[in-house]
Amino acid sequence: MARGWESKAVEEQQAEASATSDSPGERLTPEQVAKQKQQQGLLLSRKRVLKQLQAAQNPFYRKMLETALGDLDARLARLG
DSSP state string for 19-79: HHSPPTT-PPPHHHHHHHHHHHHHHHHHHHHHHHHHH---HHHHHHHHHHHHHHHHHHHHH
State the pLDDT at residue 1. Answer: 45
Burial class of 75 by CB neighbour count within 10 A (0 to 12, 13 to 18, 19+) = middle
pLDDT at residue 18, rounded to an integer: 60
Predicted pLDDT of residue 71 = 97
| pLDDT of amino acid 26 | 82
Tell me the per-residue pLDDT of 26-72, one tens digit each, with 9 for 90 and over: 898 999 999 999 999 999 999 999 999 999 999 999 999 999 999 99
pLDDT digits (tens, 9 = 90+) for 4-32: 555 566 677 666 666 555 556 689 899 99
Q: Which positions ≥6 away from 79 have C-beta within 8 Å?
A: 35, 38, 39, 42
